[in-house]
C-alpha cells in the first residue's frame, strides 16, 4: 500500500472510531445502568436485619439536560429488587427554573421505597443557583417527603433497627455535621449519608466507625482506560467512586450517580448500588 493511501485510510479509520465513540458516550453509556452488588457489614446490626437489602440511589439530576424518563425506567428496575431499605444521597434535580419541581414530582410518583425504611439527604444542586436558595431546598424536601422519603438534615432516624444519620450538604446553606455526630450513639447499628465525600476529611466525625454512603462525583463521568478521571468536583482526588477504606474504622462508598449532569459518559456507567446487610463482629 502506498504511503498516501495508508495515511488516508488511517485518518478515515480514526475519524470513524471517533464518531462511533462519540455516539456511544452520548447515546449509549449515559443510559446503560449498572446494578452494583456489595456486602455491607454493620456493627450492632440486629439479627432480624441480617441479609436484608439496602439500595442506594444518588445524583438523579432531574431537569432538562437528558430525558428523565430514563430515571423512571430505572426506578422500575430497582423496585424489582424489592428492597428493605432505600437511601437517596442527594442532587435530586439539576435546578434551573421552577419547572424542576413539577418534573421531580412526576418522577417521584414512581418512587423506590424500602419495606422497612426510606431516607434521603440533599445535595448542592438541591439548593438552587449558587447553592444558596433555601426556598428551592424547602420545595424539594416537601416533594420528596410527600412521596415517602424522609429527608435528614444533620439528623438521624431509626428505621426498624437501622439508625440512619443524614448530613446536610457540604456546599449548601445548612451544613452542620457536628450537630448530629457529636451525639451519635455508637451502640446503634449506624449508617451515615453524606453527599460530598470531602466531608470525610473534616474533623467532625467524633470517632464514628462505620459506613458512609456518598455521591456527588459521578465517578467523573468520563474516565480514560487505566487512568483516573480528569475532572472530579472534590478536593481529595482519591474520592472518585466505589468502596474506599478510610483506615480508621470508616468505610466510604461513592455511588457513580444514576443521572447525568451532562449527557456524556465514558467508562463510567451510571449506577444503583444494592447492598446486602451483614453483622460486623
Q: Which domains does the chain have, with CATH numbers?
A: 32-280 (3.60.21.10)
Dist CA 207 CA 200 (whole Å): 12
Q: Is 93 helix (H, G, I), strand (E, B) or coil?
A: strand
Q: What is the DSSP string of 126-158?
A: GG-GGG--HHHHHHHHHHHHHTT-EE-SSEEEE
Dist CA 67 CA 63 (whole Å): 8
Spatial neighbors of 115 by CB under 8 A, at least 6 apart, are 82, 83, 84
DSSP state of 161: T
Dist CA 269 CA 34 (whole Å): 7
The model scores a pTM over 0.85: yes
Q: Is the dihedral of CA 87, 268, 136, 237 positive or negative?
A: positive
CA angle, 46 then 111 then 130, to 5°: 100
DSSP state of 260: -
Dist CA 66 CA 68 (whole Å): 6
Would you write out the chain's pLDDT as a tens digit for each of its 281 residues? 444 543 333 333 333 334 456 799 989 999 999 999 999 999 999 999 999 999 999 999 999 999 999 999 999 999 999 999 999 999 999 999 999 999 999 999 999 999 999 999 999 999 999 999 999 999 999 999 999 999 999 999 999 999 999 999 999 999 999 999 999 999 999 999 999 999 999 999 999 999 999 999 999 999 999 888 998 999 999 999 999 999 999 999 999 999 998 899 999 999 999 999 999 98
Dist CA 165 CA 156 (whole Å): 4
Amino acid at each position: 500500500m502506498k504511503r498516501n493511501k495508508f495515511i488516508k485510510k488511517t485518518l478515515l479509520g480514526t475519524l470513524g472510531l471517533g464518531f462511533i465513540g462519540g455516539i456511544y458516550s452520548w447515546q449509549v453509556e449515559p443510559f446503560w445502568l449498572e446494578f452494583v452488588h456489595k456486602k455491607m457489614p454493620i456493627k450492632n446490626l440486629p439479627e432480624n436485619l441480617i441479609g436484608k437489602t439496602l439500595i442506594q440511589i444518588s445524583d438523579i439530576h432531574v431537569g432538562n439536560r437528558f430525558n428523565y424518563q430514563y430515571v423512571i425506567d430505572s426506578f422500575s428496575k430497582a423496585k424489582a429488587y424489592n428492597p428493605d431499605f432505600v437511601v437517596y444521597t442527594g442532587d435530586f434535580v439539576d435546578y434551573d427554573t421552577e419547572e424542576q419541581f413539577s418534573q421531580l414530582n412526576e418522577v417521584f410518583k414512581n418512587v423506590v421505597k424500602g419495606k422497612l425504611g426510606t431516607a434521603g439527604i440533599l445535595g448542592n444542586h438541591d439548593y438552587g443557583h449558587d447553592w444558596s436558595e433555601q426556598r428551592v431546598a424547602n420545595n424539594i424536601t416537601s416533594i420528596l417527603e410527600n412521596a415517602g422519603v424522609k429527608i435528614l438534615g444533620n439528623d438521624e432516624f431509626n428505621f426498624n433497627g437501622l439508625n440512619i444519620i443524614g448530613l446536610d450538604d457540604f456546599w449548601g446553606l445548612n451544613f452542620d455535621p457536628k450537630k448530629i455526630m457529636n451525639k451519635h450513639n455508637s451502640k446503634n447499628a449506624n449508617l451515615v449519608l453524606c453527599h460530598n465525600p470531602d466531608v470525610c476529611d473534616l474533623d467532625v466525625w467524633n470517632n464514628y466507625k462505620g459506613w458512609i454512603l456518598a455521591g456527588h462525583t459521578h465517578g467523573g463521568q468520563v474516565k480514560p482506560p487505566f487512568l483516573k478521571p480528569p475532572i472530579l468536583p472534590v478536593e481529595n482526588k482519591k474520592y472518585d467512586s466505589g468502596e474506599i477504606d478510610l483506615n480508621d474504622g470508616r468505610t466510604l462508598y461513592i455511588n457513580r450517580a444514576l443521572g447525568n449532569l451532562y449527557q456524556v459518559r465514558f467508562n463510567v456507567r451510571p449506577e444503583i448500588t444494592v447492598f446486602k446487610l451483614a453483622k460486623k463482629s
